[in-house]
Chains A and B, each alone.
Chain A
Amino acid sequence: MASRHPVVCGIGLSDYPVVPHMNSVQHHALAARRAIADCGIAKSAIDGFVSASGGGPGAGDDAVSMAEYLGVNHRYIDGTMVGGSSFEFHVQHAAAAIREGLCDTVLVTYGSDQLTRMGRVLGTGGFQRDAQPVAGAMQMATPYGLPLVGAYALAARRHMHEFGTTSEQLAEIAVGVREFAGLNPDARYRDPMTVDDVVNSRMIADPLHKLDCCVITDGGGALVMTTEEIARDLRQPPVYVLGAAGTQTHWNIHQMPDFTEMGAAVCGPEAMGQAGVTPADIDTAQLYDSFTITVLLMLEGLGFCGRGEGGAYVEEGHLRRGGSMPTNTDGGGLSSNHPGMRGIFLLIEAVRQLRGDAGEAQVPDADLALACGSGGWLSAIGTVILGKDRPS
């Protein structure tokens, strides 16, 4: 069965961060073309398709529409949509499908013209622009004027209260990611930034400042996953899926059971257990940085530091270039790109690192990478462990 071990063989990024001439479907397509070209597989060999809509209602980029558009006659399809972490869940599902023989080669795609279509309203403009009735559990929060940033601010405030975490410690996360963005010519913001810059930036929703928040961009990404055996004949060295797990603790922020503990505490150990590794074995982490607090909670949940110790941990510089756990080496969502759901970029950057293709941002001797996505409001968390070497 080892020859059916699931691997990532192809990666592709669409253009970003500002792409006014492309729509969401075109971002899916460009990323798919580049991922297929990257590994050199025949398009006709793709018999599985996995996607989550990035374009929103009416964009026509739901999984079945995209399968038709891209001309993939799939034996296996999955349209799991859990927000930004959808793609970590996709890898979990696709890996199982490949291992089981439901299909051999899966194309995963994402595309979004978020910035071009909506401007930067996602964070502070809200989804309800008019006085329309709000249905479902969101009606317990949206009518009070809860912006996206405010939801994360509730968690950050509680963490500060319980553990003494400071704005300066959260800011350190954004500063480290910006340093990596300086190495990425395509990143949205590249100028060096200091902790003072972050804590002196405009307060959006206490205690989160403007520079605690991710950028809003256009963009897209794609992966090709297949069996180890098929990958032998392809252009790129395979990257092995060693572990993949997901969990959901709530969906709406007002249902989060404990505002200082994220589902990463469940799916992180599960994914690492599958891979037979511990946090100390990981060489680089790609963590969903929608906001600085997201990364902090993730570091604690995954076990890179103890609960409540995230502030002190990041202050020690571990996440920086040259640190013990270089994090978001592409410049992350905080500085490079965030078209609405950035989980696929975590996986793509992890693969670049394991191939040794990350240029100036390359982590020396990167053998093991962890990607952890957060979907919803710290709600649906997915962790994937990728490795350069064949599992023994």
Chain B
Amino acid sequence: MRVVRDLDWQGPVPAGEGEYGEFFAAAAKGRLLIQQCPECGHRQHYPRALCTACAAVPEWMEAAGTGTVYTYTVVRQYGVPAFAELPYVLAMVDLPEGVRMFGGLTGIDPETVEIGMPVTAYARTYDDTHAMVFWEPA
């Protein structure tokens, strides 16, 4: 996963407590992590301390960083200063590994986004060692 260094991030940032921190730290190193259960095989995202299917302790696995748009919205009004550059696209992305992930979809004219379009993950740092995952057209 491509990592974009952005040390001027103005928006709210993830607190990164617990398992979340490992996810965002891995993203800063270009790795997109999801969880898989060693007991039942269930895969999940966001990261948790237990498998939601069987309550065993899940393990990390690296996703390919590809997906398709399940649904999206184009935000055209939002009164938070950090998001003054409107419009922008937010999407739910289906990963081939079987989980769904939310994130910003960039590098595309908002008027041309379509459900089902293939997208690729990239990471954008918000501090020295952590990054959020964004998506762009494949």
| Residue ranges of A at the interface with B (Cβ–Cβ < 8 Å) | 121, 124-126, 128-137, 139-147, 150, 153-155, 157-158, 161, 202-208, 253-255, 259
Residues of B near A202 (CB, < 8 A) are: 76-77
B60 interfacial contact with A, CB 8 Å? no
5 closest A-B pairs by CB: A139-B14, A153-B73, A254-B102, A145-B83, A158-B71
**A131 interface neighbour in B13, B20, B72, B103, Cβ under 8 Å:** B13
**A126 interface neighbour in B15, B70, B79, Cβ under 8 Å:** B79
Residues of A near B12 (CB, < 8 A) are: 128, 130-134, 142-143
Residues of A near B9 (CB, < 8 A) are: 131
Residues of A near B88 (CB, < 8 A) are: 145
**Please, how many angstroms separate the alpha-carbon atoms of A104 and B17 in the complex?**
45
**B11 interface neighbour in A143, A153, A207, A254, Cβ under 8 Å:** A143
**Please, how many angstroms separate the alpha-carbon atoms of A161 and B72 in the complex?**
11
Min distance, Cβ A225 to any Cβ of chain B, angstroms? 35
**Please, how many angstroms separate the alpha-carbon atoms of A83 and B55 in the complex?**
27
**Please, how many angstroms separate the alpha-carbon atoms of A130 and B13 in the complex?**
10
| Residue ranges of B at the interface with A (Cβ–Cβ < 8 Å) | 9-17, 20, 46, 70-83, 88, 90, 92, 100-104, 110, 115, 126, 132
Asked if A157 contacts B82 (CB within 8 A), the reply is no
**Please, how many angstroms separate the alpha-carbon atoms of A143 and B11 in the complex?**
6
**Assuming A126-B79, A129-B80, A254-B102, is B14 touching A259 (CB within 8 A)?**
no
Residues of B near A254 (CB, < 8 A) are: 46, 92, 100-102
**B103 interface neighbour in A135, A137, A144, Cβ under 8 Å:** A144
**Assuming A130-B12, A137-B46, is B74 touching A145 (CB within 8 A)?**
no
A-B contacts besides A128-B80, A150-B78, 15 pairs, CB < 8 Å: A126-B80, A130-B12, A131-B11, A131-B82, A132-B12, A137-B46, A144-B102, A145-B82, A145-B88, A146-B102, A147-B78, A150-B73, A205-B74, A206-B73, A208-B73
The closest CB in chain B to the CB of A132 belongs to: B12
The closest CB in chain A to the CB of B23 belongs to: A140
Sample 24 A-B pairs with CB under 8 A, ordered by A number.
A121-B79, A124-B79, A125-B80, A126-B83, A130-B12, A131-B10, A131-B11, A131-B13, A131-B82, A140-B14, A140-B102, A144-B102, A146-B90, A147-B75, A150-B73, A157-B71, A157-B72, A161-B71, A205-B77, A206-B74, A207-B73, A208-B73, A254-B92, A259-B92
Residues of A near B74 (CB, < 8 A) are: 203, 205-206
**Assuming A131-B12, A139-B16, A206-B76, is B70 touching A158 (CB within 8 A)?**
yes
**Please, how many angstroms separate the alpha-carbon atoms of A132 and B16 in the complex?**
12
Residues of A near B81 (CB, < 8 A) are: 129
Residues of B near A130 (CB, < 8 A) are: 12
Asked if B13 contacts A154 (CB within 8 A), the reply is no
Residues of B near A144 (CB, < 8 A) are: 11, 90, 102-104, 132
The closest CB in chain A to the CB of B24 belongs to: A139
